[in-house]
Copies of this chain bind each other. A is one copy, B any other.
Amino acid sequence: MTELILTTFDWVPDMPRGYVRDIRVRWALEEAGLPYRVESVPFRARDTGHFSNQPFGQVPWLTIGETSIFESGAILFHLGEHSDTLMPTEPGARSEVIKWLFAALNSVEAASLPWSIFIFSGDNTETPGRKHLDGFLDARLQHMEQVLAGCEWLAGTFSVADIAMADVLRLVARFDGLARYPTCRDYVARAVDRPAFMKAYSDQMAHFAAADKDNL
């Protein structure tokens, strides 16, 4: 079997630890029981080799033999195509997973990521654009509250769609953005209670803690 190599940063500041997107890939690999090896690239000096694998200079990417895949959504989808645990092959169920995978990364994260940028910047200025942006996220969460009231996992059984959606909502929860959304909170709690998530999380934390020791 071809070796799977997950590439992430060698070090990141404390703030993003536990939230670096390699966790989505680690989580999926743990769910599927697929062994993998971690390689690191410098956080501070990103070279052309980095950009040739990840054109935005970010992480993660996954290397499978000659193939290198960037974008956490694309990696999740790829792993889903190779593991029934992550994405069923039955066409109807597969279609549900794909819809919700895109929904997590486009409809929800396009609203939550900019919101978190404002929170992270300690910016509380109420401007018209900011009001629109907050309303945009609120509308998305209200709809997710309805959706999640009717199901344990988005596509029936747990799938890569839940890895993406729960990870997106987890960041909202971190900044207390789910206070008015108990069903979303419960969903995140269910997701992070999975052994595969816990392993992925502690592995990511250990990876960056080791970098501190090495004085990187």
Contact = CB atoms under 8 A, between A and B. Distances in A.
Interface of A: 51, 55-58, 67, 69-74, 77-78, 92, 95, 98-99, 101-103, 105-107, 109-111, 113-114, 117-118, 120-123, 125, 127-133, 136, 139-140, 143, 146-147
A57 B143 contact: yes
B102 A73 contact: yes
Given A99-B74, A105-B102, A129-B117, A92 B67 contact: yes
A70 B103 contact: yes
Contacts of A113: 110, 114
A106 B109 CA distance: 8
Contacts of A127: 121, 123, 125, 127, 130
Most buried by B among A72, A73, A129: A129
